[in-house]
Amino acid sequence: MKEHGMYFGKKEFYQIIRNLGGTWNDSKERPILCLIKSLEHDNLYWAIPVGNYEHRDEKAKSRIQKYMNYDKKDIRSCFYHIGNTNEKSIFFISDVVPFTDKYIDREYLNKTKKIHIIKNKTLLSELEYKLKRILAFEKTKPNYFRQHITDTKNYLISELKTNPSKEAL
């Protein structure tokens, strides 16, 4: 897995979230951006779901803007970000999940048929800032977010420790 690369996750990964008591009810197949490597394990990454901004109706766009316009001190200002991948995109930062190579279904390909890697330093900086705030908040309130970030992270770390050779593939 490459930092700043975009992938599609396997359905079994999202089922793990549900099995752990979290909610993952997204019916769309969304790419995820593997933004940063976790400090807790070399093979664990923090991934953010990404959606097409233009697929949203005006009510949804207004809701996203409302969250993004909260005061910077308010954690809700970190829930979303709008930026460009190969199109105008929404980054669902509060839906962050820990992720490993084992659960990659396939790469999200750009127009040249290569994995899409985000290179815009300004965008990456903003996403990392918001992600780190979400993760810090999660540390103080484990499983606060609907996808049960802490339980999923602990599950994946346990899996990595139990089957380290599978992650090296």
Which tens digits make up the pLDDT trace of 132-168? 999 999 999 999 999 999 999 999 999 999 987 544 4
Model pLDDT, residue 166: 47
Model pLDDT, residue 28: 78
pLDDT of 106 higher than 80: yes
Mean pLDDT, the chain, as a whole number?
93
The pTM for the full model equals 0.91
> Quick one: what percent of the chain has pLDDT higher than 70?
96
For tokens 């959606």, the residue is 51
